[in-house]
Amino acid sequence: MTPLQAVETWKAERIGKFTASDIHKLMQSGKKKDEYFGTGALTYIYETVAEVITGEVPEVTAKAIEWGWANEYDAILEYEKRMNVPVNYYGSGQPKFVLYNEVAGGSPDGEVGLTTLVEVKCPYNSGNHIKFLNMETQEQLKKDNFDYYCQTQMNLLCTNRELAHFISYDPRVIDHRLRLAILDVKRDEELITEIKARISAATLIVKSLLSKLAI
């Protein structure tokens, strides 16, 4: 399979799925006590159903995203050098989508051994890299970047792994030592339990909507 074919296969596998990168959207509750899902979460559910009936996932392009794609592999190489470990890299021409259930899954950037994931971010804004350089605990990541935190936890859930190395890489930093930030993120079982519950509830809604549409 060529890199282009691998990417197209990966895209097809993600159609109609709740993905790790967007799973934080399901975590939004409604303003009323009896509203399990908020407006944003419901919108995400409807968009996921729309992918099923159209067979398409909206393409999102921006300078920040293109920057991340262009520098992700260099981040992996820098990580391998810093940690002195090989990484099974799943970016660029060999992406991997790991199913959690029939309508949800995640795409880890890389795996180390049998227990560790690598989650890569290459901030377009160097100020964000400085923030990650100064992070010392996963609680800080959870507070400041809940979307990234949920993405990491979802990928840990999908791959059944215990630890993720959340890394931030900025090749523009003059001092090479500061180009890479590495933060240990362990499984957050409380959040994972909530993610699983929300996926289950969202899955029921997806099935109900598709049933009404006779799909």
CATH of residue 164's domain is: 3.90.320.10
pLDDT at 67 exceeding the cut of 80: yes
Q: How far apart are alpha carbons 37 and 202 in whole angstroms?
A: 9
pLDDT confidence of residue 5: 82
Confidence of residue 200 (pLDDT cuts 50, 70, 90): very high
pLDDT confidence of residue 215: 61
- CA-nearest of 13, 83, 29, 15 to 202 is 29
* 69, 92 Cβ separation under 8 angstroms: yes
Cβ atoms < 10 Å from Cβ of 87: 20
pLDDT confidence of residue 57: 84
pLDDT confidence of residue 175: 97
Residue range 28-57: mean pLDDT, rounded: 94
Residue range 130-148: mean pLDDT, rounded: 98
Q: What percent of the chain has pLDDT over 90?
A: 83
Cβ atoms < 10 Å from Cβ of 158: 22
Residue range 30-40: mean pLDDT, rounded: 92
| Residue 19, φ and ψ in degrees, nearest 5 | -105, 160
Domain ranges, residue 195: 3-212
Q: In what order do the strands lie in the sheet with 104-106?
A: 18-19, 104-106, 98-101
Secondary structure in 3-state letters for 198-209 = HHHHHHHHHHHH
**What pLDDT, in 10s, does the model give residues 146-188?**
999 999 999 999 999 999 999 999 999 999 999 999 999 999 9
Residue range 35-57: mean pLDDT, rounded: 95
